[in-house]
Chains A and B, each alone.
Chain A
């Protein structure tokens, strides 16, 4: 933790390329009428299972 910067999360999106894109996660929907899931708040099934 720095004196001038407090880092909230250090997980990198860039690390989520290799071995990903399996498609097992829930379908997301960005339209206003369904709210099945938007992408930003979705979890990765692989990570959840680990």
Chain B
């Protein structure tokens, strides 16, 4: 399977099943369409008049050489079938330290932090049980992940500290390393909390949507005011306090700022190097939900962003835009590419009362309740369904050129928009594909500059 695409005059081809990327000229661009259909003499006849028989013969030989090397027209290594290994390994938990928030973001999927329930903080005892649960289910895995999430997790900072200490202790006892992350709106990042997070090496995901008016339109205080000023001030001092490392600033764009490229660049201009800005996921009744008719504008925004990031890289001031990063030589293994996030079995979310769900987006939805950290997994069937939902079992994914980069997309988005984790959210697919094309283009440019 091949995917051909063009960007600013460059013609590129992704050989889907090998992951090999090629820059080709016009002759090869057209030859590839007929290569598996026409015999060699027919190819020479069809293209010879326009490109010259000798050149066509050379181009055919190059294609054949790459085909022999497994870098063009390579077959699907799993032939469309994959059975994930059975077993009950869990390696990551999303801990909902607080179902409460000090902001009232209009697009919040978590019901302004409470996930449709009461405001609640996770007690330390539940958090410790979650750590024991994780370690107990981690089998031979050494590296474990735990994300402190909410609501706003720093509303429960004392428990966070207690859990980090407990996790380190239990990790030492059991030969595990737990990597902690906190996802925060930054409002509570004072010097005490910042110092602690730095000292413990805890990664931080910081929420900022970009330009002041864009951020303030969505990310509001309980009183209805904007939060840009306060958030930015705290992000600035926090990032400075950790010497500009171990953070990522993430934002959400909506229909209200389809020109989101300006928001990414705004944050880059503020001096932040590690950025992620993603489309809001919302059902169509929300005025800010992205619609299919928005796609051409959004595609053009991604292209504009790719050009601008390229320019900045060439000027020696690179920006790390998370969704344009792609590792063509050392990326994840194929089993990982087929299964993606592992929600529902490898990765679980824990509500403040200890209830377990497939991931943070399913928290509070009774249909997806898996069990509780105290009693373990009770509804194991749900986990099995998630484990067996992958690129080869999701609708349309097996035939998609982007399958080994997006891994079938987000189960929760599929469920929210289409009512089934097997049915990918096509608008998200379209944006994902555009981002991958931009990422590949940047790699091609990087390679031509290096060469």
Contact = CB atoms under 8 A, between A and B. Distances in A.
B62 A3 contact: yes
Interface of A is mostly: loop
B146 to A, nearest CB: 10
A33 B151 CA distance: 12
A34 B179 contact: no
A28 B334 contact: no
Interface string A8-33: 11111110110011111111111111
A12 B278 contact: no
B330 interface: yes
B334 A17 contact: yes
A30 B343 CA distance: 10
B406 A39 contact: yes
Interface string B349-386: 00000000001110000000000000000000000000
Interface of B is mostly: mixed
Contacts of B409: 30
A30 B428 CA distance: 10
Contacts of B145: 26-27, 36
Given A3-B62, A27-B145, A36-B205, A20 B335 contact: yes
Interface string B397-431: 00000001111011011000000000000000000
A16 B119 CA distance: 46
A39 B17 CA distance: 16
Contacts of A41: 322-323, 325-327, 331, 439
A42 B91 contact: no
B28 A40 contact: no
Interface residues of A, number: 43
Contact of B250 (A7, A30, A35): A35
A10 B77 CA distance: 16
B329 A38 contact: no
A9 B328 contact: yes
B443 A44 contact: no
B443 A8 contact: yes
* 4 nearest A-B pairs in the assembled complex, by CB-CB distance: A21-B335, A20-B333, A40-B405, A41-B325
Interface of A: 2-14, 16-17, 20-36, 38-48
Interface of B: 17-25, 27-28, 55, 58-59, 62-63, 65-66, 69-71, 74, 77-78, 85, 89, 91-92, 94, 109, 141-143, 145, 147, 149, 179, 181, 183, 205, 248, 250, 252, 276, 278-281, 322-323, 325-337, 340-342, 346-347, 359-361, 404-407, 409-410, 412-413, 436, 439, 443-444, 447-448, 451
27 contacts: A2-B65, A4-B27, A4-B55, A4-B62, A5-B66, A6-B23, A8-B20, A8-B447, A9-B19, A9-B329, A13-B77, A13-B331, A14-B70, A14-B74, A14-B77, A20-B335, A23-B346, A28-B340, A28-B342, A28-B407, A29-B347, A30-B410, A33-B183, A33-B252, A35-B250, A38-B323, A42-B332
